[in-house]
Amino acid sequence: MIEKKKMAKENPSKFDRSTTNQNRAWDKDNQAWWDWYVSLADNSNSNTNDNLLKLPELPKKKYLSKIYIKQELSRPFNLSKHNITTFQKNGFIKLKNVLNRELVQALRCEILLLLKKTFRNYHKNKKNRFLSLEMMWLKNTLIREFVLSSRIAKICADLLSVKKIRLYHDNALVKESGCGRTPWHYDDHHFPLATNDVITAWIPAQYIPIEMGPLTFAKPLEVYKLVKDIKFNEYDTSYDRKIKKVFKNNHVSIVEEPFELGEVSFHHNLSFHSAPENKTTQSRIVLANTYFADGARVVNNPTMISGDWKKFIPETNPGEIVASNLNPICWPVENEIK
């Protein structure tokens, strides 16, 4: 488990966001936040729109009963001690066969339906953009099972070595055909939580070949220290470019691999990661669920980089413990708490 006192000393901005220059609150919606954020990626060497890889259409989902979905998403995953030590050393881990083929197909089809409902003329206007949907679990019963899944949440709790884990939010991350890079970053910038026990389950809703832009990690976890003094710039791509330069000069190990169907990655809030452009004809659809250790508080000074955080943590002020109805304990499940 990450030692919090040590991290607080090495990463003071985690506990006092006033040390940054982005102290104002975000005043737009979360799609606008993503439109702004992907504009910070350096795409100077990109040739995204040249020779897009044509991928076949995925099969339509078969009917799955709610009982089947719930049972599959409640079955414990066989996580080894080696998995846990690997995660805590590198800051991320990719695990195969977390979901079966039927669940992946069902997840993709459901998110596509939500995209069509949310974005007008979705099929006509979906080029080159990074689209986002969040808090889907509140209205969609199928997505709810994926977000509150005890199978997923227990993996997260075990990787962090914490006893109880709460939901921060769900997020559909949709990188459309031709969309450019996601900039290098770590999630510590984005989550207004005064803890380092924060983890995101990145759940692809299809196979992700290299050409589609899989999540890419820098390892080990400690590499964040190499770039902790680089000042975040909200106006241009300089932050992304400086990080790439530091990683290159220090020969940092970069893990860029495809994702098999049913493979899921889990990354720590201090893990630096990025994603290449989507050079295929198909949307890269991912469900990203973020969880944190029970007992965490909101940081004293949330900033614009946290986006519309009050949507995810309602009726909670800076400095207060996060325990709202929108941040339920996902592991252990209620009837298993002792």
CB 161 within 8 A of CB 1: yes
DSSP 32-67: HHHHHHHTTS--TT--TTSSPBP-PPPPPPPP--HH
The answer on pLDDT for 27 being more than 80 is no
- Contact assessment for residue 174 and residue 132, using Cβ atoms and an 8 Å cutoff: yes
Dihedral sign, CA of 327, 132, 273, 24?
A: negative
Element (H, E) at 306: none
Integer-rounded Cα Rg, in Å, for the chain is 19
- 37-65 pLDDT, tens digit each: 899 999 988 765 568 899 887 777 778 99
Q: 17, 302 in Cβ contact below 8 A?
A: yes
- Domains of the chain (ranges; CATH) run 4-40+67-336 (2.60.120.620)
Give 111-162 pLDDT, tens digit per residue.
Answer: 999 999 998 877 766 678 899 999 999 999 999 999 999 999 999 999 999 9
Q: Tokens for 1?
A: 């488990």
**Distance (Å) of CA 73 to CA 146, 149, 153, 198:** 7, 5, 10, 21
Q: Which residues contact 228 (CB under 8 A, 6 or more apart)?
A: 10, 11
**Calpha distance 77→87 (Å, rounded):** 16
Q: Which whole number is the average pLDDT over 282-286? A: 95
**Out of 4-18, 169-183, 264-278, least confident range:** 4-18
- Cα separation, 121 vs 7, in Å, equals 46
Bridge-partner residues for 202, per DSSP? 265, 288
Alpha-carbon distance of 299 to 193, in angstroms, equals 5
Q: What SS3 string covers 185-215?
A: ECHHHCCCECCCCEEEEEEECCCECHHHCCC
Token pair in block for residue 29 = 């919606």
Q: What is the reported pLDDT for 18?
A: 36
d(C-alpha 311, C-alpha 324), whole Å? 11
pTM over 0.75: yes
Q: What angle separates helix 150-160 from helix 81-90, to the nearest 10 degrees?
A: 70
Distance separating alpha carbons of residues 270 and 234, to the nearest angstrom: 19
How far is it, in rounded angstroms, from Cα 288 to Cα 270?
A: 16
- Distance separating alpha carbons of residues 56 and 37, to the nearest angstrom: 30
Report the pLDDT value the prediction gives residue 5, as an integer from 0 to 100.
33
Please state, rounded to an integer, the average pLDDT across all residues of the chain: 88
What's the confidence (pLDDT) of residue 126? Answer: 60
Mapped onto helix, strand or coil, the DSSP state of residue 250 is coil
Calculate the CA 29 to chain-centre distance.
Answer: 18
- Report which of residues 30 and 16 the model is more confident about: 30
